Amino acid sequence: MAYQSEELIREVQGQRVKEAISQRALAARSGLTQAHISQIETGRLEPGLSSFIQMARALDLEVVLVPKKLLPAVEGVLRSTAPEFFQEDGQSVLFAKGERLIAKQKKQYGSSAALDRIAEYLRFLKQVRLSKSDLALVTDVIETLRHDKASPPPKPVLDNIAGVLQGLRNRIAHPVEAPRPAYAFDGGDDDA
């Protein structure tokens, strides 16, 4: 995403994932289509203000404008009254370390598709509160990236790391929903 609203969209997407709400369920709540939400979350579409507000409100969030100089005070109040909206320090440090490692490897050895994918998955995952087992998985991946500083990690290692993070991201972003019948009989349909 190269849009100005990228950070806001990530916040809304992180809230959707945190609440284990599928894009389809969010579409039903917000009045937008699932395809529209998908395009917004993947960065293929810059949302209009009304679409963004619909998505936020469907997740029980409110868009509020705060004077820039008052932002630290507002964040402090939020942090003290609603700590669940802020990541644990350990998780933030872990993702910052991963992002630094990726940037350093890109600088030393050049960019690659696998490094770009890893960076993308880390950006997504840092927006979500992870379980201890998921944090352990991310820690292992970052340690694997850090392991050999003298030479670039081999392509299969990077591809494996990207695959592991993609699997974690997919599991979080697309929770398994109970199957729904293709058709349902509602006793109240008198037109049939």
Is residue 55 within 8 A of residue 37, CB to CB? The reply is yes
Whether 70 and 118 share a structural domain: no
Residue 86 pLDDT exceeds 50: no
| Residue 139 resides in a domain | yes
| Residue 190 resides in a domain | no
- Predicted pLDDT at 15: 86
Please tell me the least confidently modeled range out of 11-15, 72-76, 122-126. 72-76
Percent pLDDT > 90 in the chain is 18
Give the residue-averaged pLDDT of 68-73.
81
| Residue 55 resides in a domain | yes
Give the count of domains, the chain. Answer: 2
Show the domain range for 143: 87-173
- For residue range 137-187, list pLDDT tens digits in order: 888 888 888 765 667 778 888 899 999 999 888 887 776 666 667 776 665
Instruction: Match 């950070």 to its residue by tokens.
Output: 7
- Predicted pLDDT at 85: 47
- Predicted pLDDT at 191: 52
Looking up residue 15, the CATH number of its domain turns out to be 1.10.260.40
- Predicted pLDDT at 37: 92
Task: Give the sign of the dihedral formed by CA 121, CA 61, CA 71, CA 91.
Answer: negative
Residue 91 pLDDT exceeds 80: no
| Residue 140 resides in a domain | yes
Q: For residue 131, give every residue at least 6 positions away whose Cβ sits within 8 Å of its Cβ, in sequence order, or none.
A: none
Closest CA to 138 of 116, 162, 156: 162
| Residue 146 resides in a domain | yes
Q: How confident is the model at residue 190 (pLDDT cuts 50, 70, 90)?
A: low
Whether 30 and 104 share a structural domain: no
User: Maximum distance among all alpha carbons in the chain?
Assistant: 74
Higher pLDDT, 91 or 85: 91
**Both structure tokens of 169:** 């991201």
| Residue 104 resides in a domain | yes
